[in-house]
Amino acid sequence: MKSLHKIIVMALAVMTVIAAGIGLLQRRTYTDISRNQNPTETMQVAMWLDEISPDHMEFLKENLPDSPIILRVKGTGKIAYHYFQNLQQATIQEVYKGSDLSVGEDIYLANGSRCYLFSKNQANCGFVNDCQAGQDYLVFLQEKILTPQKEAYPVYTVMPYVIEPIFNYSDIQNKVVSVSLDQILVPYAEVADNEFFAGSESGLAHWLALKRQMLQLYPAGDKLP
């Protein structure tokens, strides 16, 4: 089963590269969404169901600690919207794992699946809401990357899993909106205050258990060796 998850992750990575390539080709027709304060508010987002990948939470529990870079960051609420992906600005608060990273440094968090599909009025978010200003998050990152254009801050990719591995250190109330595999999309406005987009109580419970375990492994304020 672990190998199956690795195949899924590799497939997602390939899809990310393809999506970025398509974005580059269609750059001239990309809509200027930066004029809107939060374009997601008018779109639909997908809700997580355990049936999507029944063993994914267990897979994340086993593999997230192996991520090359693990940080505690503070959200700024600022997002750079691009044709190929959206970049979330955050400030490093603590380095649990990784090199050439400094506390107080601003970085961009990039996830190839976090983008907008205008033709379908959908926002791909990896089932996790944007980082909120002033909130601390545990993030699992893959590597520092170069982007097609010069960015204001270094860009680091989030580990490319089905569920985006970003966890708020605060307890957030999450509204569950029941969905089915045939229709997992709901208006973002219905879950705008959520941290995690869950389509069932069991799916939310499994994600919360994963969150608690990760925050116990990387508690805020720990002294680094």
The tens place of each residue's pLDDT in the chain, 225 residues long, gives 555 555 444 444 444 433 444 343 333 334 444 455 566 777 899 999 999 999 999 999 999 999 999 999 999 999 988 766 789 999 999 999 999 999 999 999 998 666 666 666 777 889 999 999 999 999 999 999 988 888 999 999 999 999 999 999 999 999 999 999 999 999 999 999 999 999 999 999 999 999 999 999 999 985 444
What is each CA distance from 137 to 20, 63, 127, in whole angstroms?
26, 18, 15
Report which of 177, 96, 103 is spatially closest to residue 138, judged by C-alpha positions.
96
Residue 222 pLDDT:
55
Residue 123 pLDDT:
78
Q: Where are the domains of the chain?
A: 2-30+40-217
Measured distance CA(26)–CA(18) in Å, rounded: 12
Q: How many CB atoms lie within 10 A of CB 65?
A: 15
Residue 118 pLDDT:
60
Residue 112 pLDDT:
64
pTM here is: 0.82
Residue 199 pLDDT:
97
Residue 140, beta-bridge partner list: 70
Residues contacting 64, CB < 8 A, separation 6+: 140, 159, 165, 214
Residue 83 pLDDT:
65
